[in-house]
Structure 1
């Protein structure tokens, strides 16, 4: 499954972990000890988020491709 959603990765001092969030999928986030682990984990969570939404008959947002202006 290929995902085309924006993923925001950042370091959390509070959690002492990297956090990967998918703004277009509410509540979709994962963490990891490394940048790569957080990204790997969020891919799993994205798949589960989409599968759960389908099972519950909920709509799945279309990826916006890019949330930030290219001029930034």
Structure 2
């Protein structure tokens, strides 16, 4: 599934894990998943994002608007 939602991965010193937040999904407790490695956290975040989109669609709930930068980044 191709989505344009934000997936924020941060190291949690307290938990000794990478934690994942999905900022557009404000009704979901954040951070919402984790991983022992960055790659594992990214995989779990993507899987959760796909599940949330499916659940929203099944429930007829409108999906949140993806956050964007608004402009293309220019490389000097």
TM-score range, shorter chain: 0.7 to 0.9
Partner of 1:38: 41
Matched, 1:16 2:19: no
C-alpha distance in 1, partners of 2:69/2:21? Answer: 14
**Largest Rg, 1 or 2:** 2
What count of residue pairs does the alignment treat as equivalent? 68
C-alpha distance in 2, partners of 1:21/1:66? Answer: 18
Task: Give, in angstroms, the shift of residue 25 of structure 1.
Answer: 1.4
TM-score (norm 2): 0.76
CA RMSD of aligned residues (A): 1.9
**Displaced runs of 4+ in structure 1, greater than 4 A?**
none
Preserved contact between residue 5 and residue 22 of structure 1 (Cα < 8 Å): yes
Preserved contact between residue 18 and residue 33 of structure 1 (Cα < 8 Å): yes
